[in-house]
Chains A and B, each alone.
Chain A
């Protein structure tokens, strides 16, 4: 498949808003037209051509070579096709993305996949705080799609999440799934303190939970058929990145009883 390549000329000194650079918005544009696209960069007006050397053809995948933690909103509102970033990205990567795939081969900043609607976001490094969370004043966090973070995630991953899946293969920060309303969060290395605080619905899965809250009640260990269905779905869309199958009946903690209380934390090591 043809790809449009954007090669970072030098490490940016200011934050760059890359939200105009998604395959759907670039389709049909020539290299020259793409180079003239304005990038919001604070008081200083910059164009794509100022920051990147552009090659290849638009309409297919977008490949950003050279990352930086100052590249904000990479893949924001992405709606089909693939974006690959060879390196780190800044804040709000994948925000409100609808479909397609965003492959970040580095670390991601705060609010990765904020209010994600669909598609798949893969981060080979770690993610900052508020992974999948809402911005200030927004009602919902992650509302669909799937996020896999190979490293760790900061605090408040999945805050106010409504649908979709977040998989964190490294260490999960505090208060994951806070005020969650649906969807699934998997912390493969375990869940930190405050997991699921004030959650109404939804599922948190991990081998263990640090400092369980008294507002979650122990329902015992159970074979849950839905986990088989979820595992099959994840295998289908994520392949080798899917969370490992749950061998034993997990312990089910229901809560948060200080809220609606219809969420659950499933502890796979009993």
Chain B
């Protein structure tokens, strides 16, 4: 979620009639993992993944940022069934591990016919089965094949199979972003939907907010003591009352936030998303693209919009 915007941003570029601010998205180093959820059908694999990634928009409020990366064909899953790869991001590996324990335990273990496997090869590993396997209450059994240990947990529709460990990376990036600004709310939303669809084709990234889109960009802090509050500079209804970042015709700002397992993946997603916006935006009332940052002092990763234009 963007929290503020560099006030000095200036629109120096223009593509297809859309102004592009000379600014950058400021993103943070995070830890991330991937798991593959399988089920008897693609429908149930996806259902389980959707449930597991629910309430996973912001690491501050939800404990983790989660999303579906891509669907996995049966021939590429450990058990030969349809699968979905889910990514989970947190501040540190132990935080990701705690989230896995709860999310897999409550949302995957409980889902009919599901199984759960490691979805990220890495030398660093965290427990995947650490919570769910104890649901077996002593009836769980382990099976080690090569270097991989699987747990079999008896459940009411058979057995829940879960891999013991999942890979984790500390090179992940959270908070890549760009803002889509326009004079028509429906058109801006439609444009963002197309951008999210384009980003979905990029592996190793997720867009964790609802449908991949954020309508509530925030700034750091609040008069009430909350860690974040509305970013009034980008609220169209406050344009006359605050030091606004918006022009007289701007009616809507939506943000797309990107988390990725690597900085390269986030960059590729930024490029794919911006391309979609610049192609689809002009006929949908999009007038400007910007990005959220904190002045460059907080996040280790800066994605300058001009470097990711098509």
Binding site for B on A (CB under 8 A): 144, 163, 182, 184, 201, 203, 222-226, 228-230, 232-233, 237, 262
Contacts and interface: CB of A to CB of B under 8 A. Distances in A.
B158 A222 contact: yes
9 contacts: A163-B144, A182-B142, A224-B158, A225-B158, A226-B143, A226-B159, A229-B79, A233-B145, A233-B146
B78 interface: yes
Binding site secondary structure of chain A:
mixed
Contact of A226 (B80, B139, B150): B150
B134 to A, nearest CB: 15
Nearest to A165: B145
Given A222-B158, A233-B146, A237-B146, A228 B80 contact: yes
Interface residues of B, number: 16
B146 to A, nearest CB: 7
Point out which of B79, B80, B145 has the most chain A C-beta atoms below 10 A from its C-beta.
Answer: B145
B183 interface: no
Point out which of A182, A203, A229, A232 has the most chain B C-beta atoms below 10 A from its C-beta.
Answer: A229
A228 B79 contact: yes
Interface string B143-171: 11110001010000011010000000000
Interface string B78-115: 11100000000000000000000000000000000001
B159 A224 contact: yes
Nearest to A203: B143
A229 B158 contact: no
B141 A225 contact: no
A233 B158 CA distance: 21
B152 A226 contact: yes
Contacts of B158: 222-225
Given A224-B158, A224-B159, A229-B79, 14 more contacts: A144-B144, A163-B144, A182-B142, A184-B143, A203-B143, A224-B152, A225-B158, A225-B159, A226-B152, A226-B161, A228-B79, A229-B78, A229-B145, A262-B139
